[in-house]
Amino acid sequence: MKLLLKIFVALVVLAAGLFWFSTTLPSTIDIKQQIVIKAEPEQIFPYLNNPTDWKNWTAWNKTYDPSVIYMYGGPQRGVGARQNWSGDITGNWQMVFTQSTEPDSLSYELKQQDSPVKTIGSFILEEKGDSTQVTWLQTTPLENNIIALYKGAWQRSKTEKELMTGLQNLQNLVISTTKANASKK
């Protein structure tokens, strides 16, 4: 009987500790990733401003999820351009461009199907000499429950890696395209 009481007390203390710790977790996932690309903003921005180009550089592509299917709507680029994708690993998502100021910034809303949560994302391109600093910001509010807060802590780390992978892929794409165009001249 004493053993059961000790186990019960330990479980209550553990549950209280997990609940208390969850109150220290942030209610949003705020991510900021940056990369410097040796190119002008005008050479980079078209890859961001056209959702059909995202599959060529984001982490959420056929390499990550071979079953992914893309659908596009609205204008081809700029405000109102949209991309939906569905895959066994990625799930079902919709992204809509909400602001586009060529070649400086782009904002979007991202939403997973059957979720009330909207992620707000943006790119800021700043010229730095012969290069451009590309900053990718993303903010996702979390539902107000203990499970969502813990899941958000894990999701933050995963999303940070995905955004950095996307920026590195973008850098590689821009550099290889720039070199290919220079060799044609």
Query: Where are any strands of DSSP class E within 10-147?
Result: 28-37, 69-73, 82-87, 91-101, 105-112, 118-128, 131-141
Q: Which of 17, 38, 45 is nearest to 125 (CA)?
A: 45
Q: Which residue has the tokens 């910001």?
A: 137
Report the distance separating Cα 108 and Cα 111, nearest Å: 10
Is-cis flag, bond preceding 116, omega within 30? Answer: no
One DSSP character per residue, 126-173 reads: EEETTEEEEEEEEEEE--SSHHHHHHHHHHHHHHHHHHHHHHHHHHHH
Structure tokens at 129: 């000499």
Q: What's the pLDDT at 7?
A: 73
Structure tokens at 158: 């995963």
The domain covering 25-180 belongs, at the CATH homologous superfamily level, to: START domain (3.30.530.20)
Query: For residue 78, which phi and psi values (nearest 5 degrees)?
Result: 80, -165
Q: Domain residue spans in the chain?
A: 25-180
Task: List the pLDDT tens digit at each of the 185 positions of the chain.
Answer: 777 766 766 666 565 555 655 555 567 789 999 999 999 999 999 999 999 999 999 998 888 899 999 999 999 999 999 999 999 998 999 999 999 999 999 999 999 998 888 999 999 999 999 999 999 999 988 877 766 666 777 788 899 999 999 999 999 999 998 877 766 66
Q: Is 29 exposed, middle or buried (0-12, 13-18, 19+ CB in 10 A)?
A: buried
